[in-house]
Amino acid sequence: MATSSSVPSPPGVSAPLLLRSLGAHLESGHGLVALDANDRILVASQEARQLLDLPEGCDGHRLGEVGADYRLLRVIDACRHAEAAVEREIADPGRLVVVKAFPVPHKRVSAMVLVRDETRLRRLERVRRDFVTNVSHELRTPITAIRLMVETLEKGALTQPEVARQFVQRIALEVGHMSQMVEELLELSTIESGDRALNFESVSVNDLLSAVDRLLPLAEERSLEVTLDIAGDTPQVLGDPRRLGQVLRNLVHNAIKFTPPHGRITVAARPRADGHRVELRVSDTGIGIRPEDLPRIFERFWKADSSRQRDGEGSGLGLAIARHVVEAHGGSISVESEPRHGATFIVELPAAGDEAPVPPPSDADDDDDGEEAGTPFTTP
């Protein structure tokens, strides 16, 4: 393939040279293509080539010859016709590129195309929109319920002490759900902002599991049997006991919520074969999770349809928080489940005695759920 040297250069500083250095200084995610009157590429910056799928060494060739996308050709045609700037989106699965073509009154350069990658920006916009929708939805249900109960009380139910007492109890319950959700949201944003460091220490699995003690009465109330199964050679874990306790509590609380009476919940711990990691498993014999739901389970606000119907049971934030916390420890969390055959959540954490964990780099774009991962905790 010919290179830009095949384009004859005018004397002095050539336009392509100027444009090339301009292209090299554009921000990342931005590219530039300059064309002559025959749609021959004078310069295509590296970013532009990537974003528009143009081959390396395309300079000096016509756009049509190098397999340029028809939508790009149309934008350029439109700008030539209109003799004005024309901007369009080129959307492909997983990528959104905005191209802006404008005519250039120059004897060699006849049109320029600025290209920018808007994939991430659009995804963030969608995440923010979904977030606001979800928060409003989650708040609307309890607020409506509270309003109705207050109205009924005002209309006379206050004079019926038994009815009034029930309503006030329901109101207190709804307020409790709302404040739990607000707390969870604050927790998530603190985690994501990386403001609060993790307090790493060596902690025994026994100590970690004591965090679930306070859920045992609830399990008993629902006739569920909870068994702890800690292998004798399980090493200590390197982590923040408070945060990890919170993760385990959410997993066990979920197991309690989604297991019908007389089911079993097992919390097990054992060392991984390499000895550097500890595996914690929370299994239940409950309703399980549909295969199509498994990839979404750690998204914030995600709830299975069946749990969505039970308003007030939770806001779908617990597992999102759990994932952030575990990953900030350099660990991982996963789930195995079959509908009606229970679910098992597997948390892997670094064993104490190893190097301090390095949290994975925050990369919101890796989230196929479209959720922004944010910056994990900073290690002390």
Query: Which partner from the list ligand ATP, Mg ion, none does 34 bind, CB cut-off 5 to 8 Å by kind?
Result: none
Q: How far apart are CA 49 and CA 67, in angstroms?
A: 12
Q: Would you say 254 or 285 has its CB closer to Mg ion?
A: 254
Q: Kindly state whether residue 142 participates in binding ligand ATP, applying the rule CB under 6 A.
A: no
Element (H, E) at 32: strand 30-35
For 361, the 3-state DSSP assignment is coil
* Binding track over 329-358 against ligand ATP, x by CB under 6 A: --------------x---------------
Q: Kindly state whether residue 286 participates in binding ligand ATP, applying the rule CB under 6 A.
A: yes
Q: Would you say 78 or 346 has its CB closer to ligand ATP?
A: 346
Count residues contacting ligand ATP (CB under 6 A)? 23
Considering only residues 254, 283, 285, 344, which one is a binding residue for Mg ion as defined by CB under 5 A? 254
Residue 33 C-beta: closest distance to ligand ATP, Å: 46
Judge contact between 237 and 197, C-beta under 8 A: no
Q: Render the burial of 235-256: b for 16+ CB within 10 Å, e for the rest.
A: bbbbbbbebbbbbbbbbbbbbb
Backbone angles phi, psi at 373, to 5 degrees: -70, -35
Q: Kindly state whether residue 318 participates in binding Mg ion, applying the rule CB under 5 A.
A: yes
Nearest partner of 95 among 24, 29, 27, 23, judged by Cα? 29
For 298, the 3-state DSSP assignment is coil
Residue 318 C-beta: closest distance to Mg ion, Å: 3
Q: Would you say 217 or 361 has its CB closer to ligand ATP?
A: 217
Count the Cβ atoms, other than its own, within 10 Å of residue 137.
Answer: 12
Judge contact between 313 and 307, C-beta under 8 A: yes
Query: Which partner from the list Mg ion, ligand ATP, none does 315 bind, CB cut-off 5 to 8 Å by kind?
Result: ligand ATP
* Binding track over 252-271 against ligand ATP, x by CB under 6 A: --xx--x-------------
Backbone angles phi, psi at 159, to 5 degrees: -80, -5
Backbone angles phi, psi at 226, to 5 degrees: -110, 125
Q: Which two tokens stand for residue 55?
A: 């081959």
Q: Which two tokens stand for residue 141?
A: 């249900």
Residue 358 C-beta: closest distance to ligand ATP, Å: 26
Q: Would you say 245 or 314 has its CB closer to Mg ion?
A: 314
- Ranges of H-type helices in 194-261: 205-209, 216-221, 241-257
Considering only residues 302, 331, 349, 371, which one is a binding residue for ligand ATP as defined by CB under 6 A? 302
Q: Which residues of this chain interact with Mg ion, rule CB under 5 A?
A: 250, 254, 314, 318
Binding site for ligand ATP (CB under 6 A): 184, 250, 254-255, 258, 284, 286-289, 297, 302-304, 307, 314-320, 343
